[in-house]
Structure 1
Amino acid sequence: MIREQAADKRTPKTIRHDADLIVVGGGLSGVCCAITAARAGIRVVLVQDRPVLGGNSSSEVRLWVLGATSHMGNNNRWAREGGVIDELLLENLYRNPEGNPLIFDTILLEKVVLEPNITLLLNTVVYEVEKSNTETISGLKAFCSQNSTAYDLVAPLFCDASGDGIVGFQAGAAFRMGAERQDEFGEKFAPTEEYGELLGHSLYFYTKDTGRPVRFVPPAYALDDITKIPRYKRFNAQEYGCQLWWIEYGGRLDTVHDTETIKWELWKVVYGVWNYIKNSGQFPEAETMTLEWVGQIPGKRESRRFEGDYMLRQQDVVEQRTHPDAVAFGGWSIDLHPADGIFSEKPGCNQWHSKGIYQIPYRSLYSHNIKNLFLAGRIISASHVAFGSSRVMATSAHVGQAVGMASVLSTRNHLLPRDLTEPTHMHVLQQELLKAGQHIPGINLQDDDDLVHQAKVSASSEFVLSELPPDGPLLPLTSSAAQMLPLPVGYVPQMTAFVTADQDTTLTVELRRSSKPLNHTPDVTLETLSIPVRKGKQELNLPFTSQLSEPQYVFVMFIKNEHIHLQYSQMRVTGVLSVFNKINPAVSNYGKQEPTEDIGVDTFEFWCPERRPAGHNIALRVQSGIRLFSPANVRNGVQRPTNQPNAWVAKVDDANPTLTLSWLTRQKISRVELRFDTDFDHPLETVIMTHPETVGPFCVQEYVICNDQQERIFHQPHNHQTSNTIRFDQPIETSSLTIHLKKNDGLAPASLMEIRCYS
């Protein structure tokens, strides 16, 4: 029994946690920051004010995770973010292809609690910042209402990934809220006052068909007149969850302090919408449906943005400007919403894409006036316009990983965040991020400690792209289609396509490339062929004569023709992809981006893949073949297709694909790093959208590693991840390593993106 005498007052139980890094905010940026830092060896406290992790991606909000891939609706090929966020999304694909948000919760929690260097505090709110001087945070005070416990959190470094920036705000970090004027940064897309300066919050609902009639009596606070919503006719009984992202409100209010007011208005709208669907008589299919879930907290888009040493701006996104301190990338459109949200007469969003992914500089990831404060997530140093792109969760997670690794280097070398901008330190940071699976466009891994660079690399076979055989579907050319092919410097080879025509006609075939070699927007036409086609089935010669001055992808484009059926192939190959000039209104893709006024964005066409099981390659025969899939690619420092496939690919008929590393002397090997092709072009949305597979079709699911005696030293029977790290309890002494890749079922030849070995 516990019995205490009356007291004047009591203080809660208080626990002190000392760490190397305190991360406040358990959204994806905070989670990826904490995991990255912990895996690299420093002690982390992760503080989350909610009962689950994931922020807007959690089961409390249920927004799908997206980033540069943009629903496969832009020209950013192989652009899914790497590292920890890639690991999380692939794990979700493997366990949860149906997109259950509760399962995603468990994956995030599992990944965090399995890290021994992370102390996780759920349901814990930071309410006070302590400082040792005007520029330095010394500690945080936090409280958990669930266990009535206060926490003193002490560390030399802090990361604010809280979304609203509670730590930065209380610490006195410079911040902005609202939109910059057009003339401050020369941003032509800066919004007018009439459009509004802030994006609002959203709140979602899920429905369920019970199989029997269900009535709905709306609460008294439900919106009684649905016609107050200008777009009310867009509502239907089929869409739910974040498909209704445009149920948005609050952009005219204080999106920090008015959040509860905004939430109530959103509740009114949601219940009013459901009342309309259930009781208006216009949706008879809703008779047996019921509300299964309504969000308890709104998903926030925008509030404070903190000032770093550099502020990302529109031109960085659109022009894809390069930065010496690039540590991450973005690629979502510049996606601004009218401040009046669902009550606006304007479209729910205004999305403008760039021609490719863009670099995010490290100088935007720390406060310029609080020396030991990192910034991660949507609060990084960006203008309102650039924030329209950088704010999405996968991009925020990628940024969080960069901050996590920066905190490790700061801890090891007793540095402050700004110190890492020194070129030598920055080079180390970039290289450590690349080692951990982060992709930084334009920067390759150069690792002198990697023993693979001292080895001879050989393989059982090497794929040569001489043919995508005509064994797939025969489909009408009702939309223009293109085959992306990687080519080296030199002449474009002649090719042969396979078509069937229902009458004599002329087929237009264009050969294009991108104006930037790392982009995949076909904005430069090399040549146009007009080919007579007779009625019936036939092979068409494509006599290209163009020459490439640098290695990159070309697009062999078949312009739509209602009289033509184009032959496709069942073969899928790492780094080879078909794209189509179609429409994806979900990301404002109507086949071509064409601004009607000068708002500082480009005009160009969209050529995007189709989702599996569709999206076959176009059947082609390539004269002399394309030889860009050699085993040497596994050590070229790039872990995904960019301007080349960057992978070793075995021949299709190789029954035992093997890659061998041979050294002149015996090596002691304690760790092996492998990178597989998990299809970085697939966005892997976490909720709502289902996926046709649990493992990417190019991913090698089983492999064996043998030493120079051909003894098995490691066996992985069930791989579904990009990154595999093999650590040996005792170093392996050997003069060679052989990796046996077990060929997957299906029509994709075995491939490997990278191998690294360490003593």
Structure 2
Amino acid sequence: MIIENFSSEKRENKLNQLSAEFVVAGGGIAGVCAAITAARKGVKTILIQDRPVLGGNASSEVRLWVLGATSHMGNNNRWSREGGVMDEILIENLYKNREGNAVIFDTILLDKVMQEENITLMLNTAVSAVQKADEKSIEAVWAFNSQNSTHYKIDAPLFCDATGDGLVAFQAGAPFRIGAEAKEEFGELFAPDEAYGHLLGHSMYFYSKKTDEPVKYKAPSYALKEIEKIPRFRVIRKEHKGCNFWWFEYGGRRDTIHETEEIKYELWKVIYGVWDYIKNSGNFEDVDNMTLEWVGNVPGKRESRRFEGLYMMKQQDVIGQTEFEDAVAHGGWALDLHPADGVYSELSGCTQWHSKGVYHIPYRSFVSKGIDNLLLAGRIISASHVAFGSTRVMATCGVGAQAVGMAAAVCKELGVQPADLMEVTNLKKLQNELNLTGQSIPNIPIRPESNLLTQARVTASSALTLSTIPFDGKWKKLNVSSAQLLPFEANTAYAFKVQVNASEKTTLEVQLRKSHNDKNYSPEVILESQVIEVGAGEQTVDFKFESSVADQQYAFVTFMANPALEIKCSEKRITGVLSVFNGENDKVSNKGKQTPPQGIGVDEFEFWIPERRPEGENIAMEISPAIEAFDVSNIGNGFVRPWGTANAWVADLSDTKPTLKMEWDSEQPLSEIRLFLDTDYDHALESVQFGHPEEVIPFCLQNYTIKDLNGQVLFQQSDNYQTINAFKFEEGFSTKGLLIETEHPSSDVPAAIFEVVCL
């Protein structure tokens, strides 16, 4: 029993003083990825999160799906899903939660963090103050946990602000911006003529469900009564829920930091008013048994402060795909800006303009300008308002934060500050350490000197030569133009045979297309076009293109729309091979073609997008000469996904025991072997709400054995579903070679490996 008598002195809450090597403030997707990345490199990390769950906008408190460069598979960014920890989390979520339950996703994130022995996690703990060592560096942050009534003083040599509003950077005195830059500042043609302070607002979501009995609904007094005040009210549907109402947005003309509570009340007003409209207006059928299941209590924030770094990204970097020497991450979401009036605006809920491919994000945009030991992560990184429209989305924030976490590790190892990593040798180390963990920085491969495998002779029991995509699938109606995306060899003229079924005598128009940029997938260049007469009924059609691509790159064997025709497809799925169609995806403002107004600095081009599985079969065809882009020589080239070519060793399906063999001239000491496998970087893997057709990606190598050259089993893997598999050898292990014996994932999918790294 504890009894304390009256005290005339003020009592103080408990104070704990903690020390770490790296402090990450903010436990959204960015903070989680930064903390895990640093911790896995041996950095003692404290992760501070002011909410009871991790994930920020991705958590069950808000329930927005994680998305990035794949853009719901609605743009031309093929195989662009973010790698590393971000990919690992999404793949884990697919395996355990393919239905997209936001509560389960909370557990995925928490589990990942709690497995890291170098992370101290502090939930329900809000950073309240910053203590500076001098004018340009932070000594400690102060925080308070309302659940345990404890204050914390946390010191470290390095800090990361991933709080969304930049709470640490703001208090530390780092320079920042709020609002939109004028067009003249950076020459951004999509920017306004004059700078303004309007922002993207907050959103809140709700879930509804159908019950077995009628449920009445009486709206609270504060619910919006005049639904007509929402100009888009006619698009409201009873079956919509969650992020279907992303456009329930408000606050763009208010202070999105200090007035966030007032913004929340307005959004509640809208949500409960809309539900009253659905239930009681009489404009909706079959709603008697429907009830509200969940309404958000925390708004999903989009925009507040953006902090200045050593470089500020701009529109031209996104649309023009600027290549940076200090690239450490990539983006690919559209320039996505929203009207300041949000739900009450007469304008479209958003304006999205896509680039033709993914773009680099430079390291300098994560390094604070003014505070020497502060790194920036998440939506607050150094970008103009226009560029922020793309860099702000969560998977992009996550992959950028991985660069921040790795930068902290390299800074610790070298004993330097974040800005010092711009020195060429340090920068290359940072980039390579990231790529070794799956970052897959565009156009920057794993350095060969860091992979002992590049000194070995690598052979395989077989390699796919793509002469036939078998004619064993469905018929696909050519209501829209469709294409087979194939990794062509340079200066090679290919001939094809396809099967079509015509409802009448008609013509088949075939085209050979490619992208201007040999690493893009926007087929704006028509190399050759042929029109072939076909009779009614099923038949084989032969054609040959005299044109070819000058460099090794993906090309589109294109079949133009003709509703009188069907084309035969295939059940076979092959790593680095994909069918696409000139289709629409209204979730990302894709109407089949991007046609921007003149003078806004955005390209006009067509969208050629895939279909989600179980659809999206390859187009069946015979190919001559066979495409030989799947050879074992891809192992060791440093790329871990399709980029210009397939970059994978793919076995022949007829090979009953596909095997890789690695031999060195002398014994090599090995500490670890990493396999980079195919979990279909083209699949968007939205974290919640969408749901996905399988829990294991069908391309993924699930069962294999690693042996030495004497046949001794070193490691055995079964039922794998993750992208990167790492195995550590016992200390002092050395060998002259390794065997990797694999199994095909299925009878329709050959075994494939992108990369093997030996350390």
Q: 1:511-530, aligned counterparts within 5 Å?
A: 511-530=512-531
Q: 1:291-310, aligned counterparts within 5 Å?
A: 291-310=292-311
Contact 2:76 2:356 in 1 (8 A): yes
What amino acid is the match of 2:424? P
Q: Which residue does the alignment assign to 1:360?
A: 361
Q: 1:214-253, aligned counterparts within 5 Å?
A: 214-253=215-254
- Does residue 1:177 correspond to 2:202, yes or no? no
Q: SS where residue 107 of structure 1 aligns?
A: helix
Q: Which residue does the alignment assign to 1:140?
A: 141
Inter-partner Cα distance in structure 1 for 2:392 and 2:576: 29
Q: Measure how far apart 1:193 and its partner are.
A: 7.1
Inter-partner Cα distance in structure 2 for 1:740 and 1:285: 57
Inter-partner Cα distance in structure 1 for 2:198 and 2:221: 32
Q: Measure how far apart 1:718 and its partner are.
A: 1.8
Q: Which residue does the alignment assign to 2:23?
A: 22
Question: 1:244-275 CA distances to partner (integer Å, 9 max, x unpaired)?
Answer: 10000000001101100000000000000101
Inter-partner Cα distance in structure 2 for 1:399 and 1:65: 14
Query: What residue ranges of structure 1 are gaps of 5+ in the alignment?
Result: none
Q: Measure how far apart 1:548 and its partner are.
A: 1.9
Q: Which residue does the alignment assign to 1:541?
A: 542
Q: Measure how far apart 1:500 and its partner are.
A: 1.1
Q: Which residue does the alignment assign to 1:481?
A: 482
Inter-partner Cα distance in structure 1 for 2:471 and 2:518: 29
Q: Which residue does the alignment assign to 2:491?
A: 490
Inter-partner Cα distance in structure 1 for 2:92 and 2:99: 13
Inter-partner Cα distance in structure 2 for 1:178 and 1:654: 59
Inter-partner Cα distance in structure 2 for 1:753 and 1:172: 45
Contact 2:594 2:607 in 1 (8 A): yes
Q: 1:636-675, aligned counterparts within 5 Å?
A: 636-675=637-676
TM-score of the superposed pair, with normalisation by structure 2: 0.99
Q: 1:452-601, aligned counterparts within 5 Å?
A: 452-601=453-602
- Does residue 1:405 correspond to 2:406, yes or no? yes
Q: 1:124-203, aligned counterparts within 5 Å?
A: 124-191=125-192, 197-203=198-204
Contact 1:334 1:389 in 2 (8 A): yes
Q: SS where residue 431 of structure 1 aligns?
A: helix
Q: Measure how far apart 1:170 and its partner are.
A: 0.5
Q: Number of residue pairs matched? A: 758
Contact 1:511 1:554 in 2 (8 A): yes
Structure 1 residues 622, 672: closer, same or farther in 2, change over 3 A?
A: same
Inter-partner Cα distance in structure 2 for 1:670 and 1:35: 22
Q: Measure how far apart 1:196 and its partner are.
A: 7.2
Q: 1:312-391, aligned counterparts within 5 Å?
A: 312-391=313-392
Q: Measure how far apart 1:746 and its partner are.
A: 4.2
Q: SS where residue 286 of structure 1 aligns?
A: coil
Root mean square deviation of aligned Cα:
1.2
Inter-partner Cα distance in structure 1 for 2:146 and 2:477: 62
Q: Which residue does the alignment assign to 2:4?
A: 4
Question: 1:184-239 CA distances to partner (integer Å, 9 max, x unpaired)?
Answer: 11111114679973100000001111122111111111101111100001111111
What amino acid is the match of 1:672? I
Inter-partner Cα distance in structure 1 for 2:690 and 2:87: 17
Structure 1 runs of 4+ with >3 Å offset: 191-196, 729-733
Inter-partner Cα distance in structure 2 for 1:465 and 1:723: 26
Inter-partner Cα distance in structure 2 for 1:284 and 1:233: 15
Q: Which residue does the alignment assign to 1:425?
A: 426
Inter-partner Cα distance in structure 1 for 2:217 and 2:370: 54
Contact 1:196 1:339 in 2 (8 A): no
722-731 or 223-232, which moves further after superposition? 722-731
Q: SS where residue 401 of structure 1 aligns?
A: helix
Q: Which residue does the alignment assign to 1:105?
A: 106
Inter-partner Cα distance in structure 2 for 1:469 and 1:606: 27
Q: SS where residue 225 of structure 2 aligns?
A: coil
Q: Measure how far apart 1:731 and its partner are.
A: 4.2
Q: 1:705-716, aligned counterparts within 5 Å?
A: 705-716=706-717
Question: 1:407-428 CA distances to partner (integer Å, 9 max, x unpaired)?
Answer: 1111111111111111111111
Inter-partner Cα distance in structure 1 for 2:659 and 2:480: 40
604-613 or 492-501, which moves further after superposition? 492-501
Inter-partner Cα distance in structure 1 for 2:419 and 2:671: 34
Inter-partner Cα distance in structure 2 for 1:228 and 1:531: 55
- Does residue 1:698 correspond to 2:694, yes or no? no
Inter-partner Cα distance in structure 2 for 1:746 and 1:67: 32
Question: 1:22-66 CA distances to partner (integer Å, 9 max, x unpaired)?
Answer: 100000100000000000111100000000000000000000000
Contact 1:327 1:430 in 2 (8 A): yes
Q: Measure how far apart 1:502 and its partner are.
A: 1.3
Inter-partner Cα distance in structure 2 for 1:123 and 1:746: 49
Contact 1:69 1:683 in 2 (8 A): yes
Contact 1:196 1:340 in 2 (8 A): no
What amino acid is the match of 1:22? V
Inter-partner Cα distance in structure 2 for 1:508 and 1:438: 40
Inter-partner Cα distance in structure 2 for 1:660 and 1:561: 48
Structure 1 residues 192, 287: closer, same or farther in 2, change over 3 A?
A: farther
529-538 or 224-233, which moves further after superposition? 529-538
Inter-partner Cα distance in structure 2 for 1:539 and 1:246: 49
Question: 1:560-580 CA distances to partner (integer Å, 9 max, x unpaired)?
Answer: 001111111111100000000
Q: 1:64-75, aligned counterparts within 5 Å?
A: 64-75=65-76
- Does residue 1:261 correspond to 2:265, yes or no? no
Q: SS where residue 756 of structure 1 aligns?
A: strand
Query: What residue ranges of structure 2 are gaps of 5+ in the alignment?
Result: none
Question: 1:471-523 CA distances to partner (integer Å, 9 max, x unpaired)?
Answer: 10012110110000001211231111211111111111111101001101101
Inter-partner Cα distance in structure 2 for 1:389 and 1:449: 33
Q: Measure how far apart 1:460 and its partner are.
A: 1.1
What amino acid is the match of 1:3? I
Inter-partner Cα distance in structure 1 for 2:18 and 2:724: 32
Structure 1 residues 276, 746: closer, same or farther in 2, change over 3 A?
A: farther
What amino acid is the match of 1:238? E
What amino acid is the match of 2:480? S
Q: SS where residue 349 of structure 2 aligns?
A: coil
Q: Which residue does the alignment assign to 2:743?
A: 742
Q: SS where residue 562 of structure 1 aligns?
A: coil
Inter-partner Cα distance in structure 2 for 1:320 and 1:362: 15
Question: 1:637-692 CA distances to partner (integer Å, 9 max, x unpaired)?
Answer: 00000110000000011111111111222233221111100000001001111101
Inter-partner Cα distance in structure 2 for 1:439 and 1:449: 15
Q: SS where residue 336 of structure 2 aligns?
A: strand
Taking only the aligned residue pairs, the percentage that are identical comes to: 54
What amino acid is the match of 1:666? E
What amino acid is the match of 1:174? P
Q: Measure how far apart 1:734 and its partner are.
A: 2.6
Q: Measure how far apart 1:449 and its partner are.
A: 3.7
Inter-partner Cα distance in structure 2 for 1:211 and 1:382: 50
Q: Which residue does the alignment assign to 1:394?
A: 395
Q: Measure how far apart 1:733 and its partner are.
A: 3.3
Inter-partner Cα distance in structure 2 for 1:731 and 1:529: 62
Q: SS where residue 537 of structure 1 aligns?
A: strand
Inter-partner Cα distance in structure 2 for 1:196 and 1:477: 48
Contact 2:407 2:430 in 1 (8 A): yes
Q: SS where residue 371 of structure 2 aligns?
A: coil
318-327 or 186-195, which moves further after superposition? 186-195
Q: SS where residue 729 of structure 2 aligns?
A: strand
Contact 1:25 1:160 in 2 (8 A): yes
Inter-partner Cα distance in structure 2 for 1:491 and 1:649: 21
Inter-partner Cα distance in structure 1 for 2:193 and 2:116: 47
Q: Measure how far apart 1:12 and its partner are.
A: 1.2
Inter-partner Cα distance in structure 1 for 2:32 and 2:202: 22
Inter-partner Cα distance in structure 2 for 1:112 and 1:24: 14
What amino acid is the match of 2:6? A
Q: Measure how far apart 1:632 and its partner are.
A: 1.7
